[in-house]
């Protein structure tokens, strides 16, 4: 069972968030697609700066959990609180009502996501890929967005590719652009969804290296869906094993990955030996 916060009857709004420590709280989240319940009551608090690795068999619900934070999926029931703000609901005249697009956009501003398949804009240079959201979403002035985007691309080792288009880059380089593009928005939480699984094996290392560097810098919370167990062991503060829509085991990486209690986790980990 998960060792997370107790869910109360209290509505979770800005004024009633019950875990002040958490940057993200999932409270009794369920999600069904049609008749199939893929998340069956997830309670999960993530602390600011915490690095969480989500592992589990294919279909266990890992991607759905992080897509919800990005507002790409809506929970069937339960609450998600991000930095004290209710993600899917807002308070109006003392009542909780479904969130407006504007409210969703505001809360989403705290979250950055990197996908398995990069999702870069093919018709923009990599510098333009990074600059566009700060300018158009955050209304940052162009000179400042450009300066910060260049700094971020330099940080991921692509300072010499600013004017290249995505099609001119390797998969590993594209994934590093995707990271720079997310980071330039200064998110409080970064989500990584199997970001190395579409890459040729020889390109995996360079992408993991960049994530490791970002993780070391500290302040940002990170949630990584990953099959790279060595990597999880190395950078995560906590590993969560999701099985069939529930948190079946969680704890420090050395415990969960090297001395697990859960039988299905033991079987799952055997595949990586
Ligand atoms: P994981 O990331 O652990 O592989 P997912 O969160 O992607 O798992 O998927 C969990 C389950 O939900 C799977 O059975 C998947 O087929 C199903 N699922 C995910 N997204 C959708 C969708 N948009 N419509 C229908 N079923 C979905």
**ipTM for the whole complex:** 0.97
Q: What is the residue whose two structure tokens read 């990586």?
A: 272
For ligand 1, atom 25, which residue shows the shortest CA distance? 33
Report which ligand 1 atom has the smallest distance to the Cα of 34.
Answer: 25
What angle in degrees, to the nearest 10, is found between the helix axes of 171-183 and 142-155? 130
Dihedral of CA atoms 95, 96, 101, 102 in degrees, nearest 10, equals 60
CB 42 within 8 A of CB 25: no
Q: Which of 241, 245, 240 is nearest to 267 (CA)?
A: 241
Taking 50 as the pLDDT cut, the residues of the chain under it are: 1-17
* Ligand 1 contact, 63 CB (< 6 A): yes
Q: Return d(Cα 267, Cα 246) in angstroms, integer.
A: 17
Specify the pLDDT at position 19: 60
Tokens of 261: 């209690």
Kindly state the tokens that stand for 271: 């595949």
Neighbours of 226 (CB within 10 A): 23
Query: Tokens standing for 69?
Result: 């934070």
Helix axis angle for 126-136 and 171-183, nearest 10°, is 20
CA of 247 to the centre of ligand 1 (A): 16
Ligand 1 within 6 A of 33 CB? yes
Q: Which residue has the tokens 């490791």?
A: 212
68 lines ligand 1 (CB under 6 A): no
Report pTM.
Answer: 0.88
Give, using CA atoms, the residue closest to atom 27 of ligand 1: 33
Pocket test for ligand 1, best of 30, 40, 63, 76 (most atoms within 8 A of CB): 63
Q: What is the pLDDT of residue 12?
A: 35
User: Which residue among 34, 38, 58, 226 is best mutated to probe the pocket of ligand 1, counting the most ligand atoms within 8 A of its Cβ?
Assistant: 38
Pinpoint the alpha helices (H) of 78-200: 101-108, 126-136, 142-155, 171-183
Spell out the CATH class of 47-71+105-271. alpha beta
93-102 LR contacts (CB < 8 Å, sep 24+): 96/11, 96/13
Each residue's pLDDT tens digit, 219-267: 899 999 999 999 999 999 999 999 999 999 999 999 999 999 999 999 9
Domain ranges of the chain: 47-71+105-271
Whether the CB of 59 sits within 6 Å of ligand 1: yes
């Amino acid at each position: 069972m998960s060792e997370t916060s107790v869910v109360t009857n209290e509505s979770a709004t800005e004024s009633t968030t019950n875990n002040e420590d958490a940057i993200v709280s999932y409270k009794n989240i369920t999600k069904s697609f049609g008749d199939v319940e893929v998340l069956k009551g997830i309670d999960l608090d993530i602390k600011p700066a915490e690095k969480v690795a989500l592992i589990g068999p294919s279909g266990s619900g890992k991607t759905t959990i992080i897509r919800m934070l990005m507002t790409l999926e809506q929970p069937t029931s339960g609450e998600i609180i991000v930095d004290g703000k209710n993600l899917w609901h807002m308070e109006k005249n003392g009542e909780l009502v479904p969130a407006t697009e504007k409210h969703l956009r505001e809360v989403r501003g705290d979250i950055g996501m990197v996908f398995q398949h990069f999702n870069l804009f093919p018709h923009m240079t990599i510098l333009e890929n990074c600059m566009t959201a700060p300018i158009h979403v955050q209304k940052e002035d162009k000179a400042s967005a450009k300066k910060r985007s260049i700094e971020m691309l330099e940080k991921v080792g692509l300072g010499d590719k600013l004017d290249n288009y995505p099609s001119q880059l390797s998969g590993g380089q594209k994934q590093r652009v995707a990271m720079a593009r997310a980071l330039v928005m200064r998110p409080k939480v970064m989500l990584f969804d199997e970001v190395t699984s579409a890459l040729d094996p020889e390109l995996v290392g360079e992408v993991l290296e960049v994530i490791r560097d970002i993780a070391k810098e500290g302040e940002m919370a990170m949630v990584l869906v990953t099959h790279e167990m060595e990597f999880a062991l190395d950078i995560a503060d906590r590993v969560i094993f999701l099985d069939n829509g529930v948190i079946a085991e969680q704890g420090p990486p050395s415990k969960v990955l090297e001395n697990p209690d859960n039988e299905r986790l033991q079987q799952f980990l055997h595949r990586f030996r």
